[in-house]
Structure 1
């Protein structure tokens, strides 16, 4: 079976993940549409990407002509019909809630062309849980980018039993075109590879903190000093977003029914307090305005 060459990509969701995925696609030469319901979110996304590209120009990573060309390929829109008009690939990057994702893909199914490939950026929800609301399970795949996508050179491409080899290969080729390294997982498992390992670290770190074994700052420092981790588990929780971690844990619990998979009490508390991490200026740590606006602070390598 031959597939349409991917030329146009729509990214759904202009949060920190979606906006950077869209920027990578535009930099990679794809005509890219970034869609979000919230106009303010789109404005913030555009401002953040302009600022990021200015930093890249200053660091010599790209010239001004290159950024200009990329932005000429990148469209920001609140019009769903425009995002769904003719994409060859849709990458979903909305909140980590199964019901929200299902509703979105159901709407996309009714609007996009028959050849369009569906990809979810979900770090936990496997694509076989979403594909049944569409008529194209063979054209459904996970493309799990890591935060921040413009820095992290890794994408987990995950197949379900019904994902076609052609779909997986198309996703892999997109990853290569946007200068990210793809890793193919031929079987589904919640959390995939990296996040299952990270999840175990987070669970143990939260347990040690909640049991009063050590302060979270010391746990971070031990991981940095003894294990050589570039960032401690609580710093990473703040970077990813405590709400994102909550939704991931809750989704895992709903799938397994195992009480051990429920969100930790301290994570629930942070979410209830609105202390979501860097994006809100407060989480496990307190962040100033400059740190909040620098999405890649503390992680960027070189």
Structure 2
């Protein structure tokens, strides 16, 4: 089934992880979704059940394909149990470098030598994680976009040590699960999409904080004049202010450039817990049923 990948493990059952796991199961892979938080696993299972039932109602998925996918998907809070037979592990935990490095040390110890270790990080280059393993040639980025069950693009990023075989296997998985893999052979923090998005967000926030325009008006201008589906502030709410803050802070720690430092309005959202759709309020307010 494409470069020897038969079993995929997704670590982290949050907004990204549980949807990535569902994609893999729909693609015919034996898939394990692992999270140390049992409640997160239960929420993920319930969410996926509702989402796939909705797909069946809308004719996007047959009942038999739904049953097959769920038969391939399992859940566990045990990392050791999850990765014992893994061919590919996709990490989808918090955007904190030290936490990810600790996980990759454990994955290197617990997984078979053949296993590819991929990170879904939206900003961090994989070499920062590969260096704590004994298999840097088998480490890469597989950056899915939110929400993975909707967005079709995946950035596959190689470091100087990532092997061609690893990159080819990651690209083959993307093809199998119906996603467009784009291979980047040179590392840079934020990759392509988020660097472009970051430039837009920085300028939008600057205009807002300088009082040039209200954030709502900035969103309308970007959507109506540039054709974007979401304005920059709507997108911050969708991603989560905490995620945006972590990405900005990571880039700032690398560059030292004040331009990259998280701005005051993002820091304030994190401090107040107004993170966006997942908390029901961010720059905008959201009804309960609209929270993804």
Q: TM-score, normalised by structure 2?
A: 0.98
Deviation at 1:4, TM superposition (A): 6.3
Following the alignment from structure 2 to structure 1, what is the Cα–Cα distance between the partners of residues 246 and 75? 27
Structural mapping, 1:77-156, within 5 Å: 77-156=76-155
Matched residue SS, 1:147: coil
Runs of 5+ in structure 1 lacking a partner?
A: 296-302
Equivalent position of 1:165 in the other structure: 164
Equivalent position of 2:200 in the other structure: 201
Following the alignment from structure 1 to structure 2, what is the Cα–Cα distance between the partners of residues 74 and 184? 27
Following the alignment from structure 2 to structure 1, what is the Cα–Cα distance between the partners of residues 47 and 206? 35
Q: 8 Å contact 1:144–1:155 — kept in the other structure? A: yes
Equivalent position of 2:288 in the other structure: 289
Q: How many residues align?
A: 291
Following the alignment from structure 1 to structure 2, what is the Cα–Cα distance between the partners of residues 284 and 64? 39
4+ long deviations beyond 2 Å: none
Matched residue SS, 2:32: strand
Following the alignment from structure 2 to structure 1, what is the Cα–Cα distance between the partners of residues 220 and 258? 29
Query: Could you report, residue by residue, the CA deviation over 1:189-216 in whole angstroms, capped at 9, with x for unpaired residues?
Result: 0100010000000111111110011110
Matched residue SS, 2:217: helix
Deviation at 1:55, TM superposition (A): 1.2
Q: 8 Å contact 1:20–1:148 — kept in the other structure? A: yes
Equivalent position of 1:76 in the other structure: 75
Q: 8 Å contact 2:136–2:162 — kept in the other structure? A: yes
Q: 8 Å contact 1:96–1:247 — kept in the other structure? A: yes
Q: 8 Å contact 2:3–2:169 — kept in the other structure? A: no
Q: 8 Å contact 2:3–2:172 — kept in the other structure? A: no
Query: Could you report, residue by residue, the CA deviation over 1:77-105 in whole angstroms, capped at 9, with x for unpaired residues?
Result: 10111112110000000000100000000
Following the alignment from structure 2 to structure 1, what is the Cα–Cα distance between the partners of residues 240 and 66? 28
Are 2:178 and 1:188 equivalent residues in the alignment? no
Query: Could you report, residue by residue, the CA deviation over 1:204-233 in whole angstroms, capped at 9, with x for unpaired residues?
Result: 111111001111000000111111111111
Q: 8 Å contact 1:220–1:235 — kept in the other structure? A: yes
Equivalent position of 1:175 in the other structure: 174
Following the alignment from structure 1 to structure 2, what is the Cα–Cα distance between the partners of residues 4 and 142? 17
Equivalent position of 1:298 in the other structure: none
Runs of 5+ in structure 2 lacking a partner?
A: none
Deviation at 1:54, TM superposition (A): 1.1
Q: TM-score, normalised by structure 1?
A: 0.95
